[in-house]
Amino acid sequence: MKTKLSFLTLGMFALFATASVMLADDSPAAMPDTRYGLLNGLDHRSSYGQGVYPEPFLVDDSDLERREFRLDWLRTAVGDDHTDVIHPELEWGLGNLTLEVEAPYERDVNDGSVTSGFDNVDVGARYPFYQYVSPNSVVDTTFGAAIELGIPTCSDVSRNTELVPKIFNDTKLGDFTVQSIAAYSMLYGPGPDGGLGTLEYGFTFGYTISHDVLALPGVDRLIPVFELAGETEVNHDRQTNLTGDAGLRLNLKSIGGIQPRPGVVFVFPLNHNSREEQHWGIMTSLVFEF
């Protein structure tokens, strides 16, 4: 009887000791400290800047980019009238800071009349300020801020200086990603658009299909994408334009240290004001990460 009690006592002691070790391992003191940055707002485990989030199309990019060149072509049309925008962009990362410069060229055909020229040269920067990653890394979210300055080229399509402060969020839930951004555009200068203030907002939804799931030759990730992009004037006409797009982004295998990321979406209006400006659109995007 004493022997049985002794074995029972030893077994309970061993179980208690094991549970104590497991609890100690899961305690905050035993967990590795992954926080860093201002006020420990950032987390080394974050997927921000790791190529998880697809490059958006109509919505502004918000992920950290190390070194990236991008060239987009957007055509929108209403009957025989149409607009073409060729949009080159260079992004460069310094730590967690992403710098960017854009120089889009626009050509409008309206009732047979052609207007063309370089739009504003945009320079911008963005930086994350808070990140949360769940213990199992299923939930991964990053909040950040950005600013953009549009310098007019004094062409037929560029007359006003534009200043755009922004806030953004990039969230990953397993293989599903959501990128959201809100901005306030302020135009300065002559003409009817001078003094115009516009609330801009957008959402990019993506679902990552890895090569392990769908083994397409040369494709590292296939990402179906759906976007919502909106603009609401806070003065002047106070109108709202809402546009959507749907398509694919492909992250191809790297070639000599360069990873191509082509994509294409179909663009469509989602409200009356947007429908007056475009009945349909197509956008192709070619990104090179190097």
| pLDDT tens-digit readout, 177-228 | 999 999 999 999 999 999 999 999 999 999 999 999 999 999 999 999 999 9
Distance from chain centroid for Cα 55: 6
Instruction: Please provide the average confidence, as pLDDT, over all residues in the chain.
Output: 91
Model pLDDT, residue 25 = 40
Backbone angles phi, psi at 17, to 5 degrees: -65, -40
Mean pLDDT, residues 226-236: 96
Model pLDDT, residue 19 = 37
Please, how many CA atoms are within 13 Å of residue 91, restricted to the half-sphere of its CB?
Answer: 26
| 50-289: CATH class | mainly beta
DSSP state of 258: B
Mean pLDDT, residues 25-38: 69
Poorest-pLDDT segment among 29-43, 81-95, 113-127: 29-43
Beta bridge partners of 283: 74, 265
Q: Please check the confidence at residue 141 and state whether its pLDDT lies above 70.
A: yes
Q: Where does the pLDDT of residue 147 fall: very low under 50, low under 70, confident under 90, or very high at 90 and above?
A: very high
DSSP state of 40: G
Q: Where does the pLDDT of residue 7 fall: very low under 50, low under 70, confident under 90, or very high at 90 and above?
A: very low
Model pLDDT, residue 26 = 42
Domain boundaries, given as residue ranges, for the chain: 50-289
Model pLDDT, residue 117 = 98
**Residue 38 three-state SS:** helix
Model pLDDT, residue 12 = 38
Question: Length of the chain in residues, anyone?
Answer: 290
Please, how many CA atoms are within 13 Å of residue 116, restricted to the half-sphere of its CB?
Answer: 11
Give the amino acid at 54. Answer: P
Model pLDDT, residue 32 = 76
Is the separation of the CB atoms in 102 and 89 below 8 Å?
yes
pTM, full prediction: 0.87
Poorest-pLDDT segment among 8-12, 270-274, 277-281: 8-12
Q: Could you tell me the sign of the dihedral formed by the alpha carbons of 270, 274, 280, 282, in that order? A: negative
Beta bridge partners of 32: none
Backbone angles phi, psi at 192, to 5 degrees: -65, -20
H/E stretch holding 212 reads none
Q: Please check the confidence at residue 238 and state whether its pLDDT lies above 80.
A: yes
The residue that leads in pLDDT, 33 or 27, is: 33
Spatial separation of the C-alpha atoms in residues 179 and 204, rounded to whole Å: 5
Q: Please check the confidence at residue 22 and state whether its pLDDT lies above 80.
A: no
Spatial separation of the C-alpha atoms in residues 275 and 266, rounded to whole Å: 14
Model pLDDT, residue 28 = 47
Mean pLDDT, residues 106-128: 97
Mean pLDDT, residues 135-149: 97
Q: What would the pLDDT profile of 51-79 be if each residue is shown by its tens digit?
A: 999 999 999 999 999 999 999 999 999 99
For residues 26, 30, 34 and 35, what is the CA-based torsion angle, rounded to 10 degrees?
A: 100
Enter the tokens of residue 180: 């959201």
Is the separation of the CB atoms in 222 and 214 below 8 Å?
yes
Is the separation of the CB atoms in 230 and 201 below 8 Å?
yes
Spatial separation of the C-alpha atoms in residues 288 and 263, rounded to whole Å: 11
